[in-house]
Amino acid sequence: MVDLLSRTVSRPGAPDRAPAPVWLAGLVAGAAMAVAGLVAAMGLAVVGWLGGNGGAMTSALRIGVDGWLLGHGSRLQTADATIELVPLGITMIVGWLALRGGRWAARASELTRTVDAVTVGATFACAYTSLVLVVALTASHPGAEPTLIRPLLVAAAVTFAAAGFGAVRQADDLDRVVERIPDELRAAWIGAVGGTLTLIGCAALTLVASLIVHAGALRDLVEALDPGLVGGLVLVVVCVAVLPNVILLTVSVLLGPGAAIGTGTSVTLSEVTVGPMPAVPWLAAVPGSGTQPAALSALAALPLICGVVAGAMAVRRYPVFGYDRAALRGLLAGVTGGLLVAGLVSLSGGAIGPGRMADVGPAALACLAVAVVALGLGGLVGGLGVRALQSRRVP
């Protein structure tokens, strides 16, 4: 009798609740994160409108919506120009929101299986992409017409990958998934990511150093803009949104082929030819036209050094016997890193206005060739170097 009562009497304050279905948690998370990002973009646009000198609030809301769609890869066709440049800062925020949403969905559904993480990613992407489609259709007006195909593809790909990854991480199943991947692929990926991040970090430091050297030009540009308090806040948001683009353009300069900031312009380590540029504070780092100091050419060695990092990380993390296998593993990591760098660099450009501003971005094919060769050779050297150090440690 006592045993029966103990099983039938429930504890107050601790009701038993079944976890939400995996597909429902993914749908709710996707819709919530899409709405959160859209509302934030529209809110920032309204803040800028409040600090402005006029105009309708509906126009400000449209600007916020258009900016949000641009971050998803939309091409915006206006009466005077086509805007194609994707503010990668917004795209990264979309990925971060999807990552957090995927983790929440995994907790809400008490996810335990890897296959359920795929369900979370798929349902999250469906809900998120559906809202992108609705917004793109309703935001179209004669003054600015966003495209549909590219933002839908970008939204689906980014949110599926990020939400699925977040769900796997929350389920503590990532190690088991990674163990199923062959060592050669894992080594190549680890090395490629390490080399790519190292090169991006070098580009960021180069950008900061150039801004310090050209601090006077930066000060004059900001003073000419005279944004005020609210306008300054909006300017900071815009600068953050395009910062990844600027860093990747700097990577293209370090690779050698350089970048264009308008038709007929060229920015390389040895020669700079530029005309009028957009009033973006980051562009104050661009030197004046003419031949650049020979010392800057030494920065061209950075991609090769980053390739060495890629090869060293691959062989150090996944050691192999024999110099031939170490060289192959390092070479594969470097080449993979070169492909990854070239892919990221190709995303950094795009038209940002009419006329000469329709040509902004890197020389993508030339950057691809240089990145694969430089990081590949560096990876070969790095793999052999680590193997030589490991052989010396063996008694």
Residue 236 sits in the same domain as residue 106: no
58 and 190 assigned to the same domain: no
Same domain, 366 and 348: yes
Residue 193 and residue 128 in one domain: no
For residues 203 and 254, membership in a common domain is answered with: yes
Asked whether the beta carbons of 83 and 352 are under 8 A apart, the reply is: yes
Where do the H-state alpha helices sit in 214-322? 215-225, 228-255, 302-317
In a domain, 11, yes or no: no
Q: How many domains would you assign to the chain?
A: 2
Asked whether residue 121 falls in the same domain as residue 211, the answer is no
- The reply to whether 272 falls in a domain is yes
Note whether residue 303 is domain-resident: yes
Examine residue 25 and state whether it is found in any structural domain, yes or no: yes
Domain C-terminal end among 149, 179, 209: 179
pLDDT at 228: 73
Listed residues 129, 150, 179: the one ending a domain: 179
Do 169 and 210 belong together in one domain? no
Checking if the pLDDT of 9 tops 50, the result is no
Nearest residue to 262 (alpha-carbon basis) of 278, 250, 248: 278
Whether residues 25 and 86 share a domain: the answer is yes
Q: Which amino acid is at 280?
A: V
Query: Among residues of the chain, what percentage have pLDDT more than 70?
Result: 91
pLDDT at position 110: 82
Mean pLDDT computed over every residue of the chain: 84
Residue 390 — very low, low, confident or very high, per pLDDT cuts 50/70/90?
confident
Maximal CA-CA distance, the chain: 95
pLDDT tier, 192 (very low <50, low <70, confident <90, very high otherwise): very high
Which residues, including other chains, have CB under 8 Å from residue 51's CB and lie 6 or more apart? 228, 229, 230, 231, 233, 234
Amino acid letter, residue 289: S
Same domain, 171 and 66: yes
Residue for token pair 């907790």:
107
Tell me: do 171 and 189 sit in the same domain. no
Q: Does any domain span residue 2?
A: no
Per DSSP, the residues of 38-64 read HHHHHHHHHHHHHTSS---HHHHHHHH
Q: Based on the fold, state whether residues 113 and 222 are members of the same structural domain.
A: no
pTM for this predicted structure? 0.88
Q: Is the pLDDT of residue 282 over 90?
A: no
What average pLDDT score do residues 140-153 get? 80
Residue 5 lies in a domain: no
Which pLDDT band, with edges at 50, 70 and 90, does 322 fall under?
A: confident
**Does residue 9 belong to any structural domain of this protein?**
no
The single-letter code of the amino acid at 136 is A
Structural domain that includes position 49:
18-179
Q: Where does a domain end: 179, 196, 228?
A: 179
Q: Is 171 helix (H, G, I), strand (E, B) or coil?
A: coil
Do residues 200 and 116 share a domain? no
Q: Report yes or no on 77 lying in a domain.
A: yes
The per-residue pLDDT for range 21-76, each reduced to its tens digit, is 888 889 999 999 999 999 998 888 888 777 666 567 777 788 888 888 989 988 88
